[in-house]
Chains A and B, each alone.
Chain A
Amino acid sequence: MDVIINGERRDLAPHTTVAAVVDSLTETTTGIAVAVNDEVVPKASWADTEVTENDRVDVLTAVQGG
């Protein structure tokens, strides 16, 4: 299924979880937040939340700024 992750279209297996998406991008889970279709997914729900076709997943972290 097609999913947009951090602005790039990717082909993921069905039933891929948010936790798996995060794992594919970074080794750490601290200082990370996820939004699916602009809605924040709490860290406690990452393992139970599956992404679906055409979802927009954004995985963010703190960077230098301001």
Chain B
Amino acid sequence: MKKTKLAGDNISLKTRKTEEPLVMAWLNAQTNLMDSFRYLVENEILQHGVRNLQMFIPVERAGVQSSPAPSHAAIAMEEAKTSTSEAARAVQAVVAAQAEMAVAADAGVVHGEELAAAHEAPMIDEVDDEDIEAWS
């Protein structure tokens, strides 16, 4: 049985060697990776409640692709560029987010710790496939 995670426990994340470039780009664009993940999880919970996503998503999926034809992401970016109102809204959102972050930063230590934890989390896992192979 898997150990139940308690609040405050570490969770470890590691990217695949073959990770999609767009996924990597998204990861690298986050200033607080853990909080971004948390936001995605919160959205999932709001929509569907708590469930094991592995039971609902296909193992093989086309996913986001960076090279061929304009992907959804690319289209969204194009739209944002062309539609001025969209762009304006995007800028507003960014400004708002920055303001929020500034407030949070003022709130001080807690946020700082969270940031540190967020940066640490993906580093915790130093085990790779070859390590696992060595023990099997």
B partners with A: no
Give the A-binding residues of B (Cβ under 8 A).
none
Give the B-binding residues of A (Cβ under 8 A).
none
